[in-house]
Amino acid sequence: MVDFKKLLGQDILSNDMVCCDTRLATDQHRALHYRQITQLKEGHNLGGFFASYFRRKQKKHHCLEEIVLASEYIYQTVDNAGGGTVLFLGRTPCLVQLAYEQVLGIEEAQNQRPVHLNYSGHPDAETVRPGAFYSNNPETVRVRNMVSPQKLSHYFSYLDSKEILSAKNLYIVDMLESGGALNSFIRLLNTYFQSKRQPMPDLNFLALSSIYELETLNENSLWSFEREGKSNSGILKFPSDKQRNIRPYSINTTVVHVDEVTLGFILDNDLVQACCVHGVEYPAQKWTPEYDEEVRNGGPYHEDFYKYLSVNYKNLVNWHKKPVALK
């Protein structure tokens, strides 16, 4: 087990630095981070974990602490709203979920329940993701996202195992890019709840993003964001796009700020996602019994990695609860 004090000692926690690797943290990046956090703090609720969140976000801290801060922000947001089911969608939020579960354990929270769903791609929709793979292999991508009645039935059986039908308030945690994956997932949820003759829960989206002004990120027509004043909350809207099979939805959205180094080089990193998290790549093409064992097992090295992370996450959460973390 890695020594927590050596990894996140006083020398790392005491200086003004925003990420774990100075080679990746440019002056421009640090300035943007500080400006965003300062603006977001203005008028923000500072109760509970929000107090240590804003204090630590403006200090030098390790990427592991950045993940813990995101998990604490999620916990406090849901707690302030009265609780609910927190659904971590796909592989990107897996490490955040692990930290969030440490928060739940330390807080002995009874009003929140974490759920993880493997989910990848844009099921039953045309992708608009950038990149050579998607543009050069359109047929392969279509097959990857194609949903048959048999595959849909198999995925619904998988959803049954997650016991979300009783959820009244459902918080979806994921990274927002083109929005196609989220739109497909909301449509999938609608179909699932209808098939079970159950009412849809109230949906909220907790978007992991290095920019809390989401409206500045929209470079396509799949979604728009109407922000509430200068806050990090608003309404995410999808207009209808029949050609891409995008359905018109609106969902309450809160941005959970994550430093771009942590988000891009850890949470959304291909190697980390392939080997070191409990989630697996699970597009519609894999919604068959053949891949059930892969879903159960998760990434090949995630168990050892999680033993190391859990100790450090727990130490950080306990430290954030002490008055020294607010200095």
Q: Provide, rounded to the nearest whole percent, the portion of the chain with pLDDT above 90.
A: 63
| Dihedral in degrees, nearest 10, Cα atoms 272, 274, 276, 282 | 120
Distance (Å, whole) CA 103 – CA 312: 12
Distance (Å, whole) CA 251 – CA 266: 27
Q: What is the mean pLDDT of residues 296-305?
A: 95
Q: Which two tokens stand for residue 253?
A: 């959205």
* Max intra-chain CA distance, the chain: 57
* 145-166 b/e (C-beta count within 10 Å ≥ 16 → b): bebeeebbebbeebbeeeebee
Q: What is the mean pLDDT of residues 142-171?
A: 92
Q: What is the mean pLDDT of residues 225-244?
A: 88
Q: What is the mean pLDDT of residues 133-158?
A: 79
Most confidently modeled range among 17-26, 111-120, 239-248: 111-120
Q: Across all residues in the chain, what is the average pLDDT? A: 86
User: Is pLDDT at 68 greater than 90 in this prediction?
Assistant: yes
pLDDT at 9: 38
Other CB atoms within 10 Å distance of the CB of residue 288: 13
Residue (of 225, 223, 217, 226) closest to 244 by Cα position: 223
pLDDT at 245: 74
pLDDT in tens, 73-90: 999 999 999 999 999 999
Whether 325 contacts 319, CB under 8 Å: yes
pLDDT at 13: 36
Which one has a higher pLDDT value, 69 or 141? 69
Distance (Å, whole) CA 302 – CA 192: 30
Q: Which two tokens stand for residue 312?
A: 């450090």
User: Is pLDDT at 1 greater than 70 in this prediction?
Assistant: no
| E strand segments, 228-304 | 233-238, 249-257
User: Is pLDDT at 23 greater than 80 in this prediction?
Assistant: no
User: Whose structure tokens read 């608009």?
Assistant: 128
User: Is pLDDT at 132 greater than 80 in this prediction?
Assistant: no
225: left (phi over 0), alpha (psi -120 to 50) or beta: beta
Distance (Å, whole) CA 108 – CA 165: 24
Residue (of 208, 206, 211) closest to 253 by Cα position: 206
pLDDT at 141: 66
User: Is pLDDT at 36 greater than 90 in this prediction?
Assistant: no
Binned at pLDDT 50, 70 and 90, residue 102 comes out as: very high
First to last CA, the chain: 29
Could you give the strand order of the β-sheet that contains 84-89, starting from the edge strand earlier in sequence? 112-117, 84-89, 169-175, 202-209, 249-257, 233-238, 224-227
Binned at pLDDT 50, 70 and 90, residue 17 comes out as: very low
Contacts 24+ apart (CB under 8 A), 148-152: 150/288, 151/284, 151/287, 151/288, 152/191, 152/287
